[in-house]
Structure 1
Amino acid sequence: MPPTSPYEASHAEDRREILDEIARLRDALTRKIRSSVKGSTDGIIIARLCAGLTLDEWDEIIQDGHFMHWLALPASGDATPHLARLQRTLEELAHQTRHDPLTGLANRRAFEKVLKMELERSYRSGTSLSLAILDLDDFKAVNDTYGHLCGDRVLVGIAGTLLGHKRGYDLAARIGGEEFALILPGSGLMQAETTLMRLLDESRGRQVTCEGVADPVGVTCSAGLVCTKGKMHLTVERFIGMADKALYEAKAQGKNRIVKAPIPDLLETPQATLVHAQEKQFLFTGPDT
């Protein structure tokens, strides 16, 4: 490697100073934000002129310091490259708020938002909606035996299986450490179960090769499945709770299987049906005495 020139050394020193300054400011602002009143919408934008700094150099700095939330605009000249960079940054940040960074699936926040919307749609239109919650069996043993990097590869592999079996309008999400979910709009219980059976069959046969591990690593999944016919209004919490209960039952029965929750529409008679029945009773038998 050739010796570092005085220019390169000076350039590297400038970058270190900028990195240190931004890092100190970020830490101070983070402490301030944590001590602020929760839920406050007040805030400011802080600008700092960095004379002579180019957009390419700024890209290197934000990568080195992980300053992805920091935005840059030119002091003069054509702002188009900077605005394009700003747009890409905003798109990346929006994607990060909705997706799990490891698997690329929707995260818990996006999952609950979509599930609420689909439950409302199901109730308005009277159409079926199914939800599956899946959990990897004995996943802790994978991390303990082969390490977390290998565990991450297993999680990415399961995410790929989910993506391979969902339709374009289904939603696959990672909602916990080794817990995943699949929202299936328009799917009845039998159709959703068929999809899950294929998914679990593939997951049983999927083997992941991990560095430093002699044999491929595989895991199985347990799944809880719940379906509504759209005949009654259901909250996100209740619908998830029913799928979770079915998942726990699958674990208790020996894992590596699907357990279906009772259809909530059949557990309770909708209020409108009760009113209609009471009206018919009044017409034919008169009021109760």
Structure 2
Amino acid sequence: MKPDVPPLIDASHEEMLAELETLRGMLAEMEKPDCATDGDGVVIMRLCSGLSLAGWEALCNHQDLRDWLALPLSANPLPYLSRIQETLKELVFLSEHDPLTKLYNRGAFERILSAELIRSSRAGQSLALVLFDLDDFKAINDTYGHPCGDRVLETIGALLLAEKRTYDTAARVGGEEFALILPSVGLVRAAMVIERIVAAVRSLKIVCDGVDTPLCITISAGLAITKGKMATTLDKLYALADGALYEAKSGGKDRIVAAPIADLTSPPERTLVRSDEKRFLFTGLTKG
């Protein structure tokens, strides 16, 4: 059964849509050339008679064609160029953000943390990294379903955005794992920020469709600090925060544990605990 055609989409455009889908599939199978280096590449055009900007936007929304750009042959190009600019902004946002929570994704988080560590070392200023993990999140998905789990993740993302300062960075770095980068913050102030977030999560009442009773959840946090007195790598600071998070989980969850200050420690092992131990503690699973 074909999906309903939006009002602005004429049935005569179905052939064009089929061509676009076929071409998209062919391009997806091709090895991507390094166009940024050698300048190779082509612009593929298709004449679409009678298609307006409003019609094109309806097609884009209906078929997820944001990676295709349109320009008129004779009409005023300004609205189309404005739309292309908006599309490029949307694509840049999507490339750096988690689509569910709207927080930075793992790749953007690592890039920002690397830059903040360089700035911290050069300026001799403190930098805090916090790793959060939702407690018993697997049980939420198993009991209430993944849509409810998504609602929980969205709620945590919104809470982190609301609680952080303008120049802090909040990210979703894993399934139910989040991170917060706090520039120019020492151990005491960072602990205060985290305590506030952990308490705010504890007081949440999350309503899921089809679930009679609002959900109450908790979160655990691991904190790592560098004072900027000596260069600290991303791997080292992350490993310290990860180890502190593991201690928070093994110590009863719904709590904060701070790692030793990075400047005063020797380089930690890349993995502080065995992966199967962490998997069991975080998810209750021993395999997979």
| TM-score band, normalised by shorter chain | 0.7 to 0.9
Q: How far does residue 38 in structure 1 lie from its aligned partner after superposition?
A: 11
Cα 1:39–1:210 change in 2 (3 A) is same
Looking at structure 2, the residues matched to 21 and 266 of structure 1 have their Cα atoms a distance apart, in angstroms, of 61
Which runs of structure 2 are paired with 1:67-216 in the superposition (5 Å)? Answer: 67-216=65-214
Name the SS of the counterpart of 1:130 in structure 2: strand
Looking at structure 2, the residues matched to 78 and 160 of structure 1 have their Cα atoms a distance apart, in angstroms, of 40
Looking at structure 2, the residues matched to 91 and 160 of structure 1 have their Cα atoms a distance apart, in angstroms, of 21
8 A Cα contact 1:154 1:218, kept in partner: no
8 A Cα contact 1:133 1:180, kept in partner: yes
Name the SS of the counterpart of 2:10 in structure 1: helix
Aligned counterpart, 1:15: 13
Give unpaired runs (5+ residues) of structure 2: 1-6, 268-288
Looking at structure 2, the residues matched to 73 and 164 of structure 1 have their Cα atoms a distance apart, in angstroms, of 39
Cα 1:174–1:15 change in 2 (3 A) is same
Aligned counterpart, 1:28: 26
User: What amino acid sits opposite 1:78 in the alignment?
Assistant: N
User: What amino acid sits opposite 2:253 in the alignment?
Assistant: K
Which runs of structure 2 are paired with 1:229-244 in the superposition (5 Å)? Answer: 229-244=227-242
Name the SS of the counterpart of 1:33 in structure 2: coil
Q: How far does residue 218 in structure 1 lie from its aligned partner after superposition?
A: 2.1
Deviations 1:137-185 (A, max 9, x none): 1101101111111111111111122122211111111111111000000
Name the SS of the counterpart of 2:47 in structure 1: coil
Looking at structure 2, the residues matched to 83 and 117 of structure 1 have their Cα atoms a distance apart, in angstroms, of 33
| Length-normalised TM-score, structure 1 | 0.85
User: What amino acid sits opposite 2:210 in the alignment?
Assistant: G
User: What amino acid sits opposite 2:52 in the alignment?
Assistant: T
Percent of residue pairs identical: 49
Name the SS of the counterpart of 1:195 in structure 2: helix
| Length-normalised TM-score, structure 2 | 0.85
Q: Is 1:53 matched up with 2:58?
A: no
Q: RMSD between aligned alpha carbons?
A: 1.9
Name the SS of the counterpart of 2:254 in structure 1: coil
- Of the three residues 54, 60, 63, the one matched with 1:65 is 63
Give the count of matched residue pairs.
259
8 A Cα contact 2:232 2:263, kept in partner: no
Which of the pair has more CA radius of gyration?
A: 1
Aligned counterpart, 2:258: 260
User: What amino acid sits opposite 1:258 in the alignment?
Assistant: I
Aligned counterpart, 2:270: none
Q: How far does residue 267 in structure 1 lie from its aligned partner after superposition?
A: 2.2
